[in-house]
């Protein structure tokens, strides 16, 4: 299902309003919270309309799909963020075609992104994905291993370590969500070089903003459901 310009405008405005209200409630500046529009499985035309409405940062999970859309949108100055799992044979294209990667969880991948970052581009912005609830099946590094990975990445000149990304296990209450996000925040604070917390989605944005999120990742609430899409 594709949305028209009015629908996309309404959706983006409601989310921005929600972010502004949550920021005020939690004594944050709303301009310190970036809205990342997650456009996976949505066509390039939808991204183009959202961009024309002022949305500049887009998140993609699947490399080939993202490269295809980037080709169609070369005329736009989009800030592309890679937020999906990374296989080592994909690092070259990720490093050359994105300005941010949120899902780095091992040094091997970081080294490849560093070595493959084209010389004409600025250093690639990196967030470490933290498996904050220690879920066995989930991507992300265990919290106790973050310091070591942080140190390795800070030694890589073509990467700029920006912060942490987390996708916590679903929680019942604001309080539980907040406690988890606060743990991510506290880990981030141990590294003064970090300034970014990529955390919060539609269902837990309020708690994420309360705990210091600087980037919320929203897909469905902007572009509508992905269910009718052929690719899964
Ligand atoms: C898909 C995705 C989102 C957005 O999810 P929605 O439910 O569509 O808002 C956010 N973060 C990550 C890492 C994702 O893969």
CB 215 within 8 A of CB 33: yes
Nearest residue (by CA) to ligand 1, atom 11, is 217
**Ligand 1 centroid – CA 155 distance (Å):** 30
Section 84-110 average pLDDT: 98
From 123, 198, 120, 129, select the one nearest 156 (Cα to Cα): 123
Helical (H) or strand (E) element with 71: helix 63-72
**Separation of alpha carbons 219 and 38, rounded Å:** 4
| 211 token code pair | 């705990």
With 50 as the cut, is the pLDDT of residue 232 above it?
Answer: no
Which pLDDT band holds residue 229 (cuts at 50, 70, 90)? very low
pLDDT digits (tens, 9 = 90+) for 161-205: 999 999 999 999 999 999 999 999 999 999 999 999 999 999 999
Which pLDDT band holds residue 35 (cuts at 50, 70, 90)? very high
Q: What is the structure's pLDDT at 227?
A: 74
Mutate to test the pocket of ligand 1, among 61, 128, 166, 201 (most ligand atoms within 8 A of CB): 201
CB 110 within 8 A of CB 79: no
Please, what's the largest Cα pairwise distance for the chain? 47
pLDDT digits (tens, 9 = 90+) for 108-135: 999 999 999 999 999 999 999 999 999 9
From 216, 227, 225, select the one nearest 57 (Cα to Cα): 216
**Separation of alpha carbons 80 and 124, rounded Å:** 11
Q: What is the structure's pLDDT at 228?
A: 57
**Ligand 1 centroid – CA 22 distance (Å):** 19
CA dihedral angle for residue 129, residue 131, residue 132, residue 137, rounded to 10 degrees = 150
């Amino acid at each position: 299902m594709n949305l028209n310009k009015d629908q996309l405008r309404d959706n983006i405005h409601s989310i921005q309003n929600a972010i502004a209200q949550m920021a005020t409630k939690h004594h944050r500046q709303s301009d310190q919270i970036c809205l990342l529009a997650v456009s996976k499985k949505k066509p390039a035309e939808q991204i183009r309309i959202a961009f024309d409405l002022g949305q500049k940062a887009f998140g993609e999970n699947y490399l080939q799909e993202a490269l295809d859309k980037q080709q169609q949108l070369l005329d736009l100055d989009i800030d592309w963020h890679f937020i999906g799992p990374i296989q080592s044979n994909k690092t070259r294209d990720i490093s050359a075609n994105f300005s941010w990667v949120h899902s780095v969880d091992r040094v091997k991948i970081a080294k490849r992104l560093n070595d493959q970052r084209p010389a004409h581009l600025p250093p690639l912005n990196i967030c470490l994905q933290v498996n904050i609830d220690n879920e066995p099946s989930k991507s992300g590094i265990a919290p106790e291993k973050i310091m070591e990975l942080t140190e390795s990445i800070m030694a890589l000149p073509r990467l700029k370590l920006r912060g942490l990304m987390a996708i916590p296990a679903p929680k019942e209450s604001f309080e539980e969500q907040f406690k988890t996000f606060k743990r991510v925040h506290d880990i981030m604070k141990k590294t003064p070089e970090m300034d970014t917390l990529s955390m919060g989605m539609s269902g837990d944005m309020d708690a994420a903003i309360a705990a210091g999120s600087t980037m919320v990742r929203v897909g469905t609430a902007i572009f509508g459901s992905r269910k009718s899409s052929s690719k899964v």
